[in-house]
Amino acid sequence: MLEKFIDLGIQPYANAFLNSEKDIENEFLYQLDVGFDKETYSIEMMPETIEQIKPENIFNENYSYRTSCSAPMRRHFRETANMLRNMYKGNKESILEIGSNDGSFIRVWDPNNHTVCVEPCSNFAKETTDMGYKTYDEFWTQDLAEKIVRENGQFGMIYSANCMCHIPNLDEALRGINVALADDGMFIFEDPSASQMIVNSAIDQIYCEHPRIFSILYLDKILKKHGLTIVNVQKLNTHGGSNRIFCLKTDNVKEVMSSLYKEIEYEKMIGLNKISTFLMWAARMYMMRNNLFNILHNAKSLGKKIVGYGCSSKSSIILNFLKVSDEYVDYFVDTTPEKIGKLSPGTHLPIKSFKEGWNESVDIAYLGAWNYTQEIINKEQDFLNRGGRFLTHVPFVRLI
């Protein structure tokens, strides 16, 4: 039984960038409430929130998030793909990627081998198709899995990054995995980690695109329900802290790594199996909101110029949670071509290129891309050396 623990207020679709102020009157907004289920350990949006959200209105030909716009993610997926290819050395390569975006992962695999992509955002599905990869621009379902197997056979490896947590009906998704995965195949997926979300005060990980944030406690239960067993858990730094899950069909399991048991024990120690943990965390998040707003307000009253650095989905959640307007933040700078020239979701702040908006006039930069804090600090030493400061709420509200 899902029990609500936090109200994140009225939110827009986190990647629904507006072309102009004319789009504001038709902007879709919804009430974002999040709950915890003490039977399944699921951390997910409340049903009345989920029923307002239409995935086809989010993941379509206008989807703006491009994996390769962040250098750290380009590197991450290149290294991941090469690591997994080495796991396959000597065997016939056979890979299905679910959520292939712009091909940042699949590009190291030979399109002429048994290589297939699934990507519902047709703007990106076209890119992997043009790269030579057979791509299905549909949502991952059991029916699609059956269609892909009819046309291509089963796969030795199924990989999915930052996609499984985007799927509201995970039971349906896992039925599809069972259809498409060969009996001796491996399913590897990586998604933001619930334990890192709690530790990092990263309440901005739960939103329209992330109906659920996975704990290992939750995944262990639901995967077993579908005849899949976790055999290894790798903790990653990506997207503010993620877990990479390796699982096999249960009948094919020979050994389970201790990493699974260590992670389950860690999650029980921080209390991811109790509603009380989430209620206390919510109180901290409301306090975080007040502290962050307080700094913005004080800085503005001191005449500081504040911009957003990286107009991420996460920044949409936080700035709408705070109800921030251009009274505090002047604009965003971002590297993503699809976002530049548009207005930020809900807050309607202009998004500029770094060339246009990142200059000596900026005093404070709110870290919308806080999951790349170290890379950004390394890159922006001049800004810091001249007295500029980054503002972040992770892992607590602070000026860097």
Q: Does 375 engage in binding with ligand DWN (CB under 6 A)?
A: yes
**Closest CB to ligand DWN among 73 and 231?**
73
**Closest CB to ligand DWN among 66 and 114?**
66
- The CB-of-374 to ligand DWN minimum distance in angstroms stands at 10
Site stretch for ligand DWN (CB under 6 A), options 81-89, 128-136, 151-159, 329-337: 329-337
- The CB-of-188 to ligand DWN minimum distance in angstroms stands at 16
From residue 295 to residue 314, what is the string marking binding to ligand DWN with x (rule CB under 6 A)?
Answer: ---------------xxxxx
Identified binder of ligand DWN from the candidate list 334, 340, 362, 366, rule CB under 6 A: 334
**Closest CB to ligand DWN among 212 and 239?**
239
Q: Partners of 293 in the beta sheet?
A: none
Helical spans, DSSP H, in 213-255: 216-225
Site stretch for ligand DWN (CB under 6 A), options 64-72, 217-225, 256-264, 342-350: 64-72
Q: Does 335 engage in binding with ligand DWN (CB under 6 A)?
A: yes
Q: How far is CA 229 from the centre of its chain?
A: 23
**Closest CB to ligand DWN among 154 and 200?**
200
Number of residues binding to ligand DWN, judged by CB under 6 A: 20
CA 238 to CA 66: how far, in whole Å? 15
Identified binder of ligand DWN from the candidate list 69, 148, 285, 367, rule CB under 6 A: 69
Q: Which residue of the chain is nearest ligand DWN when measured via CB? A: 310
Site stretch for ligand DWN (CB under 6 A), options 18-26, 103-111, 146-154, 368-376: 368-376
By CB atoms closer than 10 A (0-12, 13-18, 19+), residue 20 is: exposed
CA 380 to CA 145: how far, in whole Å? 45
**Closest CB to ligand DWN among 40 and 353?**
353
CA 379 to CA 9: how far, in whole Å? 34
Which helix (H) or strand (E) is 43 found in, with range?
Answer: strand 43-45
Neighbour tally for 261: CB within 10 Å: 13
Helical spans, DSSP H, in the chain: 47-50, 71-87, 122-130, 142-152, 170-180, 194-199, 216-225, 258-269, 275-301, 313-321, 354-357, 373-379, 381-385
CA 109 to CA 106: how far, in whole Å? 6
From residue 208 to residue 247, what is the string marking binding to ligand DWN with x (rule CB under 6 A)?
Answer: -x-----------------------------x--------
- The CB-of-291 to ligand DWN minimum distance in angstroms stands at 21
Q: Does 70 engage in binding with ligand DWN (CB under 6 A)?
A: yes
Identified binder of ligand DWN from the candidate list 65, 77, 140, 278, rule CB under 6 A: 65
CA dihedral 79, 309, 313, 109 (to 10 degrees): -20
**Closest CB to ligand DWN among 94 and 101?**
101
Q: Does 142 engage in binding with ligand DWN (CB under 6 A)?
A: no
**Closest CB to ligand DWN among 76 and 249?**
76
Neighbour tally for 57: CB within 10 Å: 12
CA angle 387, 390, 391 (to 5 degrees): 130
By CB atoms closer than 10 A (0-12, 13-18, 19+), residue 23 is: middle
Identified binder of ligand DWN from the candidate list 272, 292, 307, 369, rule CB under 6 A: 369
Structure tokens at 219: 């995944």
Give every CB contact of residue 337 below 8 A, 6+ residues apart in sequence.
66, 69
Whether 52 and 37 have beta carbons less than 8 Å apart is answered as no
Whether 43 and 5 have beta carbons less than 8 Å apart is answered as no
Q: Does 349 engage in binding with ligand DWN (CB under 6 A)?
A: no
Q: Does 380 engage in binding with ligand DWN (CB under 6 A)?
A: no
From residue 143 to residue 172, what is the string marking binding to ligand DWN with x (rule CB under 6 A)?
Answer: -------------------x----------
Q: Does 80 engage in binding with ligand DWN (CB under 6 A)?
A: no
Applying CB under 6 A, the residues found at the interface with ligand DWN are 65, 69-70, 162, 209, 239, 310-314, 334-336, 339, 369, 371-372, 375-376
